[in-house]
Chain A
């Protein structure tokens, strides 16, 4: 019933996890918490409990944002599709270099510093004007650090992956901290995942929007 994302030799199967996400931008601090349900690589449901009740259902190129209390729904259809929220970091961590190879990146070098092996990945030739290198830090075969740069060598974002937990036959990071830089502003995002389980509740699997609610469509 549930398909899986095959990544090299590892397979990410369906999972449910509680999350707490902190975002800091200058003086602005926001905390969000809820549960993420990963069904397959294109179907992800995020249920937010705090600060408001919200459900985000990403299914391929369509994303529904449902507000049960207000009785409102936004249906966002995008031509390119948007990466499903809250699972991107986990997918990056388990894919590692395989994911970059899939995207056309090539390994340009490596350096070992203390117990972390840093590998340097160059973007596809056609994209070198727009994309810079990506640095991947691995420890004991697990991704612990990623860094993305502009073609000019400026750091765009840094992410740190830690507190790996065993889930089936793979290891998943339960703590992901990222910093992204634009101009002189830094956006910090810290996501902590708890209570990983392979079980997805039936109410999520069989969820459908109430027919009485008006759906506002937005085309991206």
Chain B
């Protein structure tokens, strides 16, 4: 009787192992793929932070006003192609998305700041002229 129970237990373990292995391996693969995507997104955001020239976009917003702001929304920056050498398709897709999203955010934020600074300067200047009676 005991022996029969042992056979039963062994059979269950074997079945679980046979059925479970593909599930486990696909889980591991999914986790690896997710890790690649997370790393790619981090790399993309970090590179965008380092490579987008904040000063140029601030000046574009400051001197260009609304057109400068529109350009910052429309212009898509170019990520470094060397970053994609030997990388998987998942990495390429996630890196490009993250880089472009972050770079555009920096561009528009800086252009908006520049635009705001310019607008505030104009307002202060106008106020100054009114206060000192240059404009009636």
Contacts and interface: CB of A to CB of B under 8 A. Distances in A.
Interface of A: 21, 30, 32, 34, 46, 48, 50-52, 54, 56, 58, 63, 65, 67, 70, 72, 74, 76, 78-86, 88, 129-130, 182-183, 216, 218-220
A220 B86 contact: no
Interface string B20-57: 00000000000000000000000000100010010110
Contact of B78 (A70, A78, A130, A216): A78
Contacts of B100: 220
Contacts of B93: 74, 216
Contact of A67 (B50, B56, B89, B96): B89
B99 to A, nearest CB: 9
B126 to A, nearest CB: 28
B85 A56 contact: yes
11 contacts: A21-B85, A21-B86, A32-B85, A50-B86, A52-B87, A54-B85, A67-B88, A76-B96, A85-B81, A216-B93, A220-B100
A30 to B, nearest CB: 7
Chain B: number of interface residues, binned into ranges: 20 to 34
B76 A74 contact: no
B70 interface: no
Given A74-B92, A129-B55, A79 B76 contact: yes
A32 B86 contact: yes
Nearest to A81: B78
Contact of A65 (B75, B77, B82, B84): B84
Nearest to A80: B78
Nearest to A182: B50
Contacts of A34: 86
Interface string B87-104: 111001100100010000
A113 B49 CA distance: 36
Nearest to B79: A220
The residue among A46, A78, A82, A220 with the most chain B CB atoms within 10 A of its own CB is A220
Contact of B81 (A58, A67, A183, A219): A58
A63 B81 contact: yes
